[in-house]
């Protein structure tokens, strides 16, 4: 009887730890952007935050979702990608609204202009959305055609990881251009570091549980 109770307690504890780890994986990635979102909304100034960070994370997570069709990975990682995509779209919407309100130039830059000089510097949020949907459609179609190719699937996974590894580059370049880190939330940097540490721990727990 005592052994049965002990096994039930152990099972419950393992499930609880797994659930906490999964939650950390799913939502941990978006936590660092909460203070940045709040700062931009309060100051109505988005110049210190590079929207190319959003581009990097959107591309990386879209590719990761497509990669899952060819190579299975844990469900919490799938949900993490979905939550991150939604978060980056929310960040883009805010940045676009703020910049549109403060922009002196009345000329509107549109995605459908297909002007490379203004790529990812459009005036409306809907243009960013059109670009993301176009990229997703093309990538999804290629994945559908080449899903049986191991080389393509592995390349898809590599590109997803490599793209996300370049996450810090757009923000560093933005800081270099501005000659300042003003407008970039310091709390976001701290949370990114903590997120990296906790993500690795949570991922190990999830992998151990699933396998």
pLDDT at 107: 75
pLDDT at 1: 58
pLDDT at 189: 52
Question: Which helix (DSSP H) or strand (DSSP E) does residue 46 occupy?
Answer: none
The answer to whether the beta carbons of residues 124 and 110 sit under 8 Å apart is: yes
Encoding tokens for residue 63?
A: 């590719």
Helices (H), 71-167: 75-102, 125-146, 150-165
| pTM summary value | 0.82
pLDDT at 7: 72
Residue 188 CA, chain-centre distance (Å), reads 14
pLDDT at 101: 76
pLDDT at 185: 56
Q: Output the CA angle 145-149-155, nearest 5 degrees.
A: 100
Question: Which helix (DSSP H) or strand (DSSP E) does residue 175 occupy?
Answer: helix 168-178
pLDDT at 179: 73
Residues 6+ positions from 78 with CB-CB distance below 8 Å: 65, 68
184: left (phi over 0), alpha (psi -120 to 50) or beta: beta
pLDDT at 20: 77
| pLDDT string in tens for the chain (211-residue length) | 566 776 777 767 767 777 777 777 788 888 888 888 998 999 888 888 899 999 999 999 999 999 999 988 888 889 999 999 999 999 999 999 998 877 766 678 899 888 888 899 998 999 999 999 999 999 999 999 999 999 999 999 999 999 988 888 888 888 777 776 665 555 555 555 455 555 445 454 545 554 5
Helix, strand and coil content of the chain, in percent to the nearest 5, comes to 80, 0, 20
| Helix, coil or strand: residue 180 | coil
């Amino acid at each position: 009887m005592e052994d049965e109770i002990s096994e039930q307690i152990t099972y419950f504890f393992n499930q609880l730890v797994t659930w906490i780890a999964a939650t950390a994986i799913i939502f941990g990635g978006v936590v660092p952007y909460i203070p940045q979102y709040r700062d931009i909304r309060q100051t109505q100034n988005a110049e210190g935050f590079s929207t190319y960070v959003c581009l990097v994370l959107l591309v990386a997570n879209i590719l990761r979702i497509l990669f899952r069709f060819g190579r299975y990975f844990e469900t919490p990682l799938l949900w993490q990608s979905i939550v991150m995509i939604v978060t980056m779209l929310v960040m883009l919407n805010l940045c676009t609204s703020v910049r549109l309100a403060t922009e002196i130039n009345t000329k509107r830059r549109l995605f459908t202009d297909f002007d490379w000089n203004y790529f990812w510097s459009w005036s409306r949020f809907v243009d960013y959305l059109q670009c993301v949907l176009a990229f997703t459609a093309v990538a999804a179609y290629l994945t559908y055609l080449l899903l049986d190719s191991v080389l393509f699937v592995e390349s898809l996974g590599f590109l997803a990881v490599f793209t996300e590894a370049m996450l810090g580059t757009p923000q560093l370049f933005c800081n270099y251009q501005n000659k300042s880190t003003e407008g970039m939330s310091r709390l976001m940097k701290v949370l990114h570091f903590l997120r990296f540490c906790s993500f690795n721990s949570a991922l190990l727990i999830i992998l151990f549980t699933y396998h």
